[in-house]
Structure 1
Amino acid sequence: MTETPVENMSFEQAMQELETVVGKLERGDVALDASISLYERGALLKKRCEDELKRAEEKVAAITLDANGAATGTQPLDAG
């Protein structure tokens, strides 16, 4: 596990650490106090991944295409 604040992690970093946390919790070889801390960290990592995925989906949804099907840029989600 890293000491990097969850809010500063990329999607890939958060997902990798989340997999590590889940693996440790599934093995059950962690003391109760450590398990609680791991679970809390895992919950934060899960939320970070969900937020980053939502942000990426919104960007993809906002891409506009011209008459030839070429991307012309993005527009605000509430436009149109």
Structure 2
Amino acid sequence: MTDRPVEEMSFEEAMKDLEAVVDQLERGDVALDASIALYERGAALKARCEDELKRAEEKVAAITLDANGVPAGTKPVEGL
């Protein structure tokens, strides 16, 4: 797990850190204050992963298909 700001992480980095947070919390050997901090970081990491997945889904949705259903290119998606 890193101390890198969540908003700077890639999906893969955030997912790896989220897995580490979950592992620590599941072990149950973390003090209450540390558990709260871990939970808060986990929530931020989860939100980051969800945002990145949404962006990826929007990019995939922007792929245009020709009459035969074959990808024919992409169209711009607002906000990306």
Identify the TM-score tier after normalising by the shorter chain: 0.7 to 0.9
Q: Which residue of 2 aligns with 1:12?
A: 12
Q: How many corresponding residue pairs?
A: 78
Structure 1: how far apart are the matches of 2:3 and 2:25? 18
TM-score (norm 2): 0.86
Q: Which residue of 2 aligns with 1:2?
A: 2
Amino acid at match of 1:36: I
Structure 1: how far apart are the matches of 2:45 and 2:73? 31
Gaps of 5+ in 1: none
Structure 1: how far apart are the matches of 2:43 and 2:15? 12
Gaps of 5+ in 2: none
Moved over 4 A (4+): 67-70
Query: What are the superposed Cα offsets for residues 2-43 of structure 1, whole Å, 9 maximum, x if unpaired?
Result: 111000000000000000000000110000000000000000
Q: Which residue of 2 aligns with 1:73?
A: 73
Structure 1: how far apart are the matches of 2:4 and 2:70? 39
TM-score (norm 1): 0.86
